[in-house]
Structure 1
C-alpha cells in the first residue's frame, strides 16, 4: 500500500474578525476538487464547522473511500444511505448487487484514479469520499466530495485534485449536501505539488494569501481547469492560489459592475464544471 501523504491549510484571522464571525453565527465551509469521466456531477459540502479560531488548521490525507447511493442528485439534496469502501488510487470498486454493494480490487498505486464499475442494470449515484480533520478534538472522517450519476453497466473514473474551496457563510447546510451556487465569498487554495498553505481572512476585506501569489480578480478560474488525461493524471497548475472577493459576508453590494457580474457568475456552481470543484 502506498504511503499516505498529509495536507494542511492554516487560516489566520484577527481577534476582531474571529469575534465578529462567532457573534454573527458564521460557519466555515469547505469543498474539495475531483475530476470525473462522467458529466452531470454536483459538488457536495465536504466539511462545515463553527469551531474556528484565530488560527484554524484544516488537514487531510490522500486516503479515500468509493461510495454508491440510491439517492438521486437533486438541488440542495443530501446524499445519504451510502455504501462506502476504503479504496486506494488505482483500485476499482465493482458493484455487483442492486443494493449498491460490491468489492474492491486491483493494485494500489497503479494509476492516479479510482474506478467504480457498475455490473448491474440499476443506476446509482457514486463518487469518492476523503478524510478531513477541521475541528479541534474531532476525529478525522471521510465525507463525499461530489456526486455523479453511475448508469447501469457503466464505469465512473475519479481523479482527486488537491484544491479546496473555503468560504464563510451564515447558511446552515449539512455535509454531503448538493450545492450549485456559492453562498459567500470564497478562496480556492491550490496544493498541487505542496503539502501546506497559509491563508488569511478578514471580515471586512475578505480572503487573502500569506506570502503567496494573488491572481487578478478578473482572471476567473476555468471550471474545467484540471482535466484528467487518459491515464488519469491531473494537469499541474503553476498558480498557487486563485483568489476572488465577491464582498464581505452579509454585506450588500452597492454597485453591480461588469466585473462584479462576471465574478458572481463564476461563483455559480453549475454542471459546466464537468466534474471539477465548484470554483469561485
Structure 2
C-alpha cells in the first residue's frame, strides 16, 4: 500500500499585516474543495488559527474517514450552535470504499464503490448528515437518507481566508468572510503564500497558476463543491 501523500501550505505575513490582523482579532481559516453531485453538500472549516505569527503551516495527509451525524444540514439556520457538524460515528475509509450506516449509527465499510470516491449509504430511516474527514477533521457534509447513496471525493485544494468572524472547526460557512485564496495542492507536497495588506490584492501569490483569488462574499458551496464527471461513479 503506498504511503499517503502529505501536503503543507506555509502562510507568511508581512510585519505590518501581522500587526493589523492581531489588532483586529482576526483568525486564519481553511476550507477544502471536494467533488460530489449532491447539492446539499457544504464545505466545513478544517483549520482555525487565532494565534497568528509571521509564518504558520497548514498540513494534512490524504488519510480519510467517512462520518455520519445527526446535525441537520439546512439553509437558513441562524443559531450558531446548530451550524457546526457534530460527528456521531465515523470509520476509516479509502477511495473506492462504501460505508453503510445501520442502527445506533453503526458504520460498516466494504469495497465495491467508485475507485476515486467514497460512497455512504444509510440502512435506517433517520434523517442524517454525512461526509468526509481529513486527518480526523470534518471537511465536508451533506444530507443522507435511506433513499439516496452519497458519493464524495476529496480534492487537494484548500481555501484560505483571514476573518474577524469566529468559526468553529466543523462549521459550515456560506460565504467567503474576507479576500480568499484557493491553493491547488494536487501532486504537490508544499507551497508557500504571502499576505500583505498594502497590496491591491493582499494575497501576493494570486497570479500563480496554482492559486485563485476569491472575492469577499463569494458563495463557498458553489465554489468548493465541484461536480464529478458525467456518468460517474462507476461501481466495481
- TM-score of the superposition, structure 1-length normalised? 0.72
Deviation of 1:82 after TM superposition, in Å, equals: 2.2
The alignment yields a C-alpha RMSD, in angstroms, of 2.3
How many residues align? The count is 219
Does the CA contact (< 8 Å) of 1:187 and 1:243 recur in 2?
Answer: yes
Runs of at least 5 residues in structure 2 that lack an aligned partner in the other structure: 228-236
Matches within 5 A, 1:103-182: 103-106=108-111, 111-131=115-135, 142-182=136-176
Structure 1 residue 242 corresponds to structure 2 residue 212: yes
Which residue of structure 1 aligns with residue 86 of structure 2?
80
Which residue of structure 2 aligns with residue 18 of structure 1?
18
Measure, in 1, the Cα distance between the counterparts of 2:19 and 2:99: 45
Measure, in 1, the Cα distance between the counterparts of 2:62 and 2:151: 17
Does the CA contact (< 8 Å) of 2:67 and 2:87 recur in 1?
Answer: no
Q: Deviations over 1:167-225 (max 9, x none)?
A: 0011111111121111111000011222211111013331121xxx717xxxxxxxxxx
Looking at both structures, which has the greater relative contact order when contacts are Cα pairs under 8 Å and sequence separation is at least 6?
2
Which residue of structure 1 aligns with residue 220 of structure 2?
269
Q: Cα gap change, 1:91/1:11 in structure 2, threshold over 3 Å: closer, same or farther?
A: same
- Greater strand fraction, Structure 1 or Structure 2: 2
Deviation of 1:243 after TM superposition, in Å, equals: 1.9
Runs of at least 5 residues in structure 1 that lack an aligned partner in the other structure: 132-141, 216-238, 247-263
- TM-score of the superposition, structure 2-length normalised? 0.84
